[in-house]
Amino acid sequence: MSNIDDFKSSLIGGGARANQFRVIITSPSGIDIGLDSARTSFLVKSAALPTRTIQEIELKFRGRTIYMAGDQAPVDAWETMFINDTDFMIKNAIEKWSNGINDFALNTGVVSPSDYQTDLVVEQLDRDDAILKTYILRNCWPTTSGSAIELATETENAIEEFSVSWRYQHFETSGVNF
C-alpha cells in the first residue's frame, strides 16, 4: 500500500511550478519593431505550454468502429498576457509588427513570411531558474495587436494588462525534437 512518503519521493523536484517560466520573443527580421527581448520576458504575466492534437480517422468494420491516428489538427492560437508599462514598449512593438504585415492606412506590408515570422520560446524553469523544458514555437506572428485595455476612472490600484494572440506553424520541444 502506498503512503505519503512514496508519493513525495515520486514527485521529482517537488513538481513543476506554473509560475516558474520564461517567454522569449524575438523581433522578426523584416520589420523593425523596437522590442527589448530581455525586458519583455519580465513583463509576460501568463502564457501556456502549447498543445498538440492528433485527429482521428473513424473506420467502420463489421458493425464496429475502429479508430486510427490521422494527421495533426491545425494548431490553436497561442495566447500571452502582458503587463503594460508606461512606455508601452511591448504594445507599440506588437502594433508595429502588425502594421508591418499590413499597414492600416496604405494596405501594404512585407510579403515574405521570413520577414514577419519569427520563433518564440517558452521555457519551464525550476526554482533556481534552471531550464526544465523548452518549447520553440516556429514561424510565429501576432494575429491580434493586443486585446483592448479597459480604461475607467473608478479603477485604482491596478496595472494595465493586455493579451496577444499568436499564430505558429508547429512547435518543437526538448526531450522530443532536440
pLDDT in tens, the chain (178 residues): 678 888 888 888 888 899 999 999 999 999 999 999 999 999 999 999 998 899 999 999 999 999 999 998 888 899 999 999 999 999 999 999 999 999 989 999 999 999 999 999 999 999 999 999 999 999 999 999 878 899 999 988 999 999 999 999 999 999 887 7
Q: Are 78 and 91 in contact (CB under 8 A)?
A: no
CA distance 25 to 45: 14
pLDDT value at position 1?
Answer: 63
Q: Is residue 8 part of a domain?
A: no
Q: Is residue 10 part of a domain?
A: no
For the chain, the C-alpha Rg in angstroms (whole number) is 21
pLDDT value at position 147?
Answer: 86
Other CB atoms closer than 10 Å to residue 30's CB: what's the count? Answer: 17
Q: Are 166 and 143 in contact (CB under 8 A)?
A: yes
pLDDT value at position 177?
Answer: 79
Q: Is residue 6 part of a domain?
A: no
CATH number of the domain to which 88 belongs: 2.30.110
Q: Is residue 1 part of a domain?
A: no
Q: Is residue 178 part of a domain?
A: no
Q: Is residue 105 part of a domain?
A: yes
Take residue 106 and report the three cell numbers written for it.
Answer: 496604405
Task: State the amino acid at position 97 in one-letter form.
Answer: W
CA distance 121 to 145: 19
Q: Is residue 3 part of a domain?
A: no
SS3 75: coil
Closest CA to 91 of 145, 158, 138: 145
Q: Is residue 132 part of a domain?
A: yes
Strand intervals (E) in the chain: 21-25, 44-46, 54-61, 64-72, 78-83, 118-125, 131-142, 161-167, 170-173
The range of the structural domain enclosing residue 79 comes to 16-173
Give me the half-sphere count of Cα atoms (radius 13 Å) on the Cβ side of residue 116. Answer: 20
pLDDT value at position 91?
Answer: 95
Give the total number of structural domains in the chain. Answer: 1
DSSP-assigned letter for residue 73: P
